[in-house]
Structure 1
């Protein structure tokens, strides 16, 4: 028979591996990079929100619901930021957020995982598989990863901006999310 102390220790250990909480917006970030006229351009979004439920021992039970406020874009200059908010790019008046949601993660071994879910941007939704790593630190967990995204698949950069000679189609998205325990 297990002692009360053993049961308490077992409960604490299981809680340290499982967590469900809102993403900490002050510590979390979503960055992007692409090339324009063969020159690397990097930026980020200042506002990310969402909830993550994740158990390192049972990733298949995980859930994520994230959104990025597109108006919080910072592409390095006021002119670039304003251009990205226009109808040709993000069309903020109609589509103020991008979102990703998934249920059930797949373990790839060595604290590596992937989430396959629905990504929505500019009124279009498609399946997206996102690889990430998970690690505990202090009073929470970090989830970090990156994935390529076709901007043209979501009609980001329409009209004259659809020319991939001017702006590359592939955008590399990088994220670092902190989920407190």
Structure 2
């Protein structure tokens, strides 16, 4: 009996250790389990929310060694949607994202630093409106495990704030609207 228990514990530990190894994940955008949203103050009176509907990316993640993780995301900037067609047209114009000249934005991680149980700061290069600057995304692991279809998934949320002028967006929207918050919710399928 003791031998069977030890064998079961050894097998369980081996299986659990195998799940903790670094793995590559494709962001589940086709399944609509990933979102890149933004919010910015409107004149200091309310929040304007929006999303980018078309993006793709991947990440690698190792729960035992989060510092070895990597993130790579590409966004099609013309997919911006703030639920108002005229405003979206203006946000896509040269006043803001200049999507005709810069049809893509991207984020490529350069470092991951664990900040606590299931949290990390992800530093990387954000390219937006033709300008590349380092940003830090404060991220949190939401969970990982088997899905009902035989796959394995991991999910994260994160946010960062960027100053519009740092990315060459100089349209003056007033003092309350100098920064935009990017809000990310990402679920990946292990490859």
Q: TM-score, normalised by structure 1?
A: 0.87
The runs of at least 4 consecutive aligned structure 1 residues that moved more than 4 Å come to 3-8
Task: Assess if the C-alpha contact under 8 Å between 2:154 and 2:188 holds in 1.
Answer: yes
The within-5 A match list for 1:166-177 is 168-177=177-186
Change (3 A) 1:15 1:127: same
Computed over aligned residues only, the root mean square deviation of the Cα atoms, in angstroms, reads 2.1
Aligned to 1:94: 101
1:149 corresponds to 2:156: no
Cα deviation 1:119-150 (Å, max 9, x = unaligned): 11011111111110013245311110111111
Aligned residues: 175
Q: Report the equivalent of 2:189.
A: 180
Kept in 2, the 8 Å contact 1:62–1:103? The answer is no
Cα offsets for 1:94-115 (capped at 9, x unmatched): 1111111114411111211111
SS where residue 153 of structure 1 aligns? helix
Output the CA distance in 2 between the equivalents of 1:151 and 1:7: 54
CA shift at 1:14, angstroms?
2.7
When normalised by structure 2's length, the TM-score is: 0.83
Q: In the alignment, does 2:172 pair up with 1:162? A: yes
Equivalent of residue 22 in structure 1, options 22, 26, 39: 26
- Matching of residue 119 in structure 1 with residue 126 in structure 2: yes
Kindly name which structure, 1 or 2, has the bigger radius of gyration based on alpha carbons.
2
CA offset at residue 155 of structure 1? 1.8
